[in-house]
């Protein structure tokens, strides 16, 4: 038998004994509690019966006195006295109802008789009070039968409750004595069984554990060729020995893992180097344009000839455009740096997303013309007002629409937007193009910083691989998300979900 089965059997046996002890303990506690409840119920019922009996006696004496005064004098019952008398009768009725709540099922018949007789008695007394001032009302209040019947029913109920309480107390006392004996026997049996099982388990495992200790010391000292053999257990101890034997092999494999990790670090370093190369190229392109056109304009001014104002203005526009491209690239690098260091903050304000999207679409008109693309924009007047960062919202869709224009030639770019249902609210906006598309593998890495879908992308289309990484980080920062669906050669769709309020939590995209 394996060590696990021995331990399981021992543990189950101990748990059964423990459960028996706990069960009998709670059984005894329950019996004690029931005994206390029964005792308290009996005491309360006895006190309440005495109180009801006293109230009935006092009320009868009062009614007899009033009946005598009514026959011998012309005194009348004041409204305050009538109200007080009705309250006293109501109190007696409430006490009798409370006494019924303390009754057991076996005393229910006695209580019903008490209740019926008390109703007759109390209704008679109540009628007497209400008609006291009516001289034509005649009633014999000195008739003791209703009162005596109610008192007799009350005593019968009290005696029956006391008898049942004594019987239940005797049964519960016997139960308590039995549970105490079972608890003591189970306690000593648990101690004996635990000690016996512990002795045999230690004896059984001592030899195997010594061999395991020797093996771990040898392997820990660097002897990876050592093997732990002759373990007299086909279960857990044998498995543990096999695990130690496999440890040396895994330690050898760890060297290969270290080598692979070094290769991965080299790849990351190569990616950073590629990024730096792309950035330097992207920085030089607009900077060369600025310098080149500036030198041309400088030479034209130095020649002193007539200036072609149209050409001059066109060259200045190219300088301005190159400067803006350079500034946008530098801003992307700075923004990514802020995001990675956790220093990027939101500047929240109320804005209409449709208006900003319209402005972004207008600004992309030159790029659309250059690639002969068509932009389809729906009516976005029904979109809700967002309380978020308008500048980052603008940059997200500037990047997405710019990428769609850049990777699409003589195609269609479609912008779709809809309001998300309450209570979360927000908007869902998608940008769909008919461009070059991406494979599933490429889709898995386009949102990583410094990475482009292919290494040839920068050479063919330009860019640094920061735009989509910034879009993803901005969406998450603004309480939303972004996802992509794409088919190679058929285009891509980027879908952005943003919450109505940046503090309302992220919306899954």
**Residue 409: which region, alpha, beta or left (left: phi > 0; alpha: psi -120 to 50)?**
beta
Judge whether 354 and 417 are in contact, CB under 8 Å: yes
Check for a shared fold between 3-196 and 345-498. no
Residue with the larger pLDDT of the pair 142 and 84: 84
Q: What is the DSSP letter of 106?
A: G
Q: How many CB atoms lie within 10 A of CB 65?
A: 10
Burial zone of 147 (CB within 10 Å; 0-12 exposed, 13-18 middle, 19+ buried): buried
Instruction: Look at residue 327 in the predicted model and tell me its pLDDT.
Output: 76
Q: Is the pLDDT at 282 greater than 70, yes or no?
A: no
Q: Is the pLDDT at 252 greater than 70, yes or no?
A: no
Q: Is the pLDDT at 156 greater than 90, yes or no?
A: no
Q: Is the pLDDT at 459 greater than 60, yes or no?
A: no
Architecture (CATH level 2) of domain 345-498: 2-Layer Sandwich (3.30)
Q: What ranges in 221-235 are assigned the alpha helix state H?
A: none
pLDDT tier at 235 (50, 70, 90 boundaries)?
low
Measured between alpha carbons, how far is 7 from 110 in angstroms, rounded to an integer? Answer: 60
Tell how far CA 335 is from the center of its chain: 33
Name the β-bridge partners of 496.
429, 482
- What are the residue ranges spanned by the domains of the chain? 3-196, 253-318, 345-498
Q: Is the pLDDT at 413 greater than 90, yes or no?
A: yes
Instruction: Look at residue 456 in the predicted model and tell me its pLDDT.
Output: 52
**Residue 450: which region, alpha, beta or left (left: phi > 0; alpha: psi -120 to 50)?**
left
Measured between alpha carbons, how far is 325 from 367 in angstroms, rounded to an integer? Answer: 13
Nearest CA to 192 out of 1, 17, 24 is that of 17
Instruction: Give 7-53 pLDDT, tens digit per residue.
Output: 777 778 777 877 777 777 677 677 667 767 766 777 777 788 888 88
CATH dotted code for 3-196: 1.20.120
What's the whole-model pTM score? 0.44
Residue with the larger pLDDT of the pair 65 and 106: 65
Instruction: Give 292-313 pLDDT, tens digit per residue.
Output: 778 777 777 777 667 777 777 8
Burial zone of 204 (CB within 10 Å; 0-12 exposed, 13-18 middle, 19+ buried): middle
Instruction: Give 358-391 pLDDT, tens digit per residue.
Output: 999 998 888 888 889 999 998 888 899 999 999 8
């Amino acid at each position: 038998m394996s060590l696990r089965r021995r331990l399981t059997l021992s543990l189950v046996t101990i748990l059964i004994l423990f459960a028996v002890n706990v069960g009998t303990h709670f059984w005894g506690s329950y019996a004690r509690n029931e005994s206390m409840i029964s005792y308290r119920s009996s005491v309360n019922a006895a006190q309440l019966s005495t109180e009801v009996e006293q109230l009935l006696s006092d009320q009868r004496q009062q009614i007899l006195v009033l009946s005598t005064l009514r026959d011998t004098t012309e005194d009348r019952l004041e409204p305050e006295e009538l109200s007080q008398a009705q309250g006293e009768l109501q109190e007696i009725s409430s006490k009798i109802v409370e006494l019924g709540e303390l009754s057991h099922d076996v005393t229910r018949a006695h209580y019903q008789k008490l209740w019926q007789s008390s109703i007759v008695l109390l209704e008679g007394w109540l009628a007497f009070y209400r008609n006291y001032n009516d001289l034509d009302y005649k009633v014999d209040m000195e008739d003791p039968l209703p009162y005596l019947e109610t008192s007799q029913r009350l005593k019968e109920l009290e005696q029956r409750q006391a008898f049942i309480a004594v019987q239940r107390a005797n049964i519960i006392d016997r139960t308590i004595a039995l549970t105490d004996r079972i608890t003591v026997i189970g306690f000593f049996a648990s101690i004996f069984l635990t000690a016996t099982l512990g002795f045999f388990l230690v004896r059984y495992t001592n030899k195997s554990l010594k061999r395991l200790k020797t093996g771990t010391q040898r392997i820990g000292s660097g002897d990876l060729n050592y093997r732990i053999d002759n373990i007299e257990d086909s279960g857990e101890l044998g498995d543990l020995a096999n695990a130690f034997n496999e440890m040396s092999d895994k330690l050898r494999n760890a060297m290969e893992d270290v080598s692979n990790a070094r290769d991965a670090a080299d790849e990351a370093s190569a990616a950073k180097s590629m990024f730096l190369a792309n950035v330097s190229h992207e920085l030089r392109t607009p900077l060369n344009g600025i310098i080149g056109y500036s030198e041309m304009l400088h030479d034209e001014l130095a020649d002193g000839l007539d200036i072609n104002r149209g050409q001059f203005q066109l060259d200045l526009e190219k300088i301005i455009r190159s400067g803006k491209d350079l500034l946008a690239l530098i801003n992307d690098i700075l923004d990514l740096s802020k995001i990675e260091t956790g220093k990027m903050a939101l500047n929240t304000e109320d804005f209409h997303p449709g208006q900003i999207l319209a402005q972004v679409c207008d600004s992309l008109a030159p790029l659309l013309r250059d690639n002969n693309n068509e932009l389809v924009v729906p009516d976005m007047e029904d979109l809700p007002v967002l309380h978020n960062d308008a500048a980052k919202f603008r940059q997200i869709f500037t990047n997405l629409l710019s990428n769609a224009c850049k990777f699409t030639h003589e195609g269609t770019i479609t912008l779709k937007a809809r309001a998300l249902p309450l209570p979360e609210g927000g908007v869902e906006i998608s940008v769909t193009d008919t461009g070059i598309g991406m494979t599933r593998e490429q889709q898995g890495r386009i949102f990583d910083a410094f990475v482009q879908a292919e290494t040839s992308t920068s050479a063919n289309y330009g860019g640094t691989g920061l735009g989509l990484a910034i879009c993803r980080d901005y969406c998450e920062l603004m309480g939303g998300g972004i996802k992509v669906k794409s088919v190679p050669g058929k285009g891509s769709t980027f879908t952005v979900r943003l919450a109505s309020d940046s503090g309302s939590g992220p919306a899954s995209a």
